[in-house]
Amino acid sequence: MNTSRTTSPALLRPRRLIRSSLLTLALAALLGSAQAAVFKDAQLEALQDAGKYVELEQLAQARLSTNAADPEASAALALALSLGDASDAQRIEAGAKQAKLCVEQHPNVAVCHLAMAQNLGQQMLNLGMFKAMRLLGSLKAAWIRTLELDPGSFTARVQLAKLYLTVPGMMGGSVSKAKELEAAVRSSQPETARPIRAFIAGEAKKWAEMDGELSAIKPGKESAMQDEIREATMQLALHHLKDGKDLDKARRLYEGLLRDQPGKAAGCYGLARVQAAQGQHEDAIRLLERAKTLSGAEDYPIDHRLGDAYLAKGDRVQARAAYQRFIANKRANPANVEDARKSLAQLG
């Protein structure tokens, strides 16, 4: 088949769906969504929870120098190498080798398999669609094994459920399996079951039900639950934002995130999109510039939206610079990059 010619939209849609699914899974696999009691050791847990990967690596190395058979130190080193610098391919590769070593030496220790899942997620973010697809089975297997070894793991259960919901059926997705994961802990771990129900409702496009589940969750200070709330809220808010369906509801959701999680970029980014949709481009730019300084900014196409906002207010110079920055970002969502390229081309 000659693939050099224009591909029909009917063929492109499944590819885009798969690409979007893989990106979502890769982001979800990272520790931003997996910080619930990863380590039993208090020092290791405090460092990974704070995202202090340099210190985590140093402590893990020191522990391994005195006890090479320490499974938590081995897993901690794998995580530090994998997540310390997303742009450093050599460190991510070293993290993969360390995670593999951890699993081989400690096949019955859950945190080693969890570290493997984190590394696979990082690898998937840095690979093309087809290469990332090859890792999907390994990612699923890592989460399944983690949960088998630690049935009480909030992280493994929620991430595995999201994998089943996110991936198309032809790639191993299964809504029924996600429901089974929720039902198994509905009584024993209600706060684990509720976010899974929210994601199940979102997958079914039952937005009112999803909103109800989210509203009933007690956020607390645990980062893992906060991350799941943030992800689900962004999904729900985007539904209301698209095509201006209900900008007031979208605003309410984004404002709630900004109130409850002021150090995260999500709330600012979302509010900026509402402002832009309402023609308030100066306010949108202000919020987007603020979002760039907050944690998790790399998860959103901020420079793409900045380019759109500057262009809408007639500042072609700033718009061009923002689009160029975004296109140069190797981790940017390809769909957004395509749109940014088109906008940049129109600037001449």
| Three-state DSSP string of the chain | CCCCCCCCHHHHHHHHHHHHHHHHHHHHHCHHHCCCCCCCCHHHHHHHHCCCHHHHHHHHHHHHHHCCCCHHHHHHHHHHHHHCCCCCHHHHHHHHHHHHHHHHHCCCCHHHHHHHHHHHHHHHHCCCHHHHHHHHHHHHHHHHHHHHHCCCCHHHHHHHHHHHHHCCHHHCCCHHHHHHHHHCCCCCCHHHHHHHHHHHHHHCCCHHHHHHHHHHCCCCCCHHHHHHHHHHHHHHHHHHHHHHCCHHHHHHHHHHHHHHCCCEHHHHHHHHHHHHHCCCHHHHHHHHHHHCCCECHHHCCHHHHHHHHHHHCCCHHHHHHHHHHHHHCCCCCHHHHHHHHHHHHHHC
pTM of the predicted structure, to 2 decimals: 0.83
Q: 41-55, 63-77, 178-192, 286-300: lowest mean pLDDT where? A: 41-55
Residue 43 confidence (pLDDT): 95
Percent of all residues in the chain with a pLDDT value above 90, rounded to a whole number: 68
Q: Mind listing the pLDDT tens digit for each residue in 198-236?
A: 999 999 999 999 999 999 998 777 777 888 999 999 999
Q: Mind listing the pLDDT tens digit for each residue in 93-117?
A: 999 999 999 999 999 999 999 999 9
Residue 232 confidence (pLDDT): 96
Residue 20 confidence (pLDDT): 52
Res 185 pLDDT > 60: yes
Q: Mind listing the pLDDT tens digit for each residue in 150-184?
A: 999 998 999 999 999 988 887 888 999 999 999 99
Average pLDDT over the chain, rounded to an integer: 88
Q: How far apart are CA 261 and CA 292, in angstroms?
A: 15
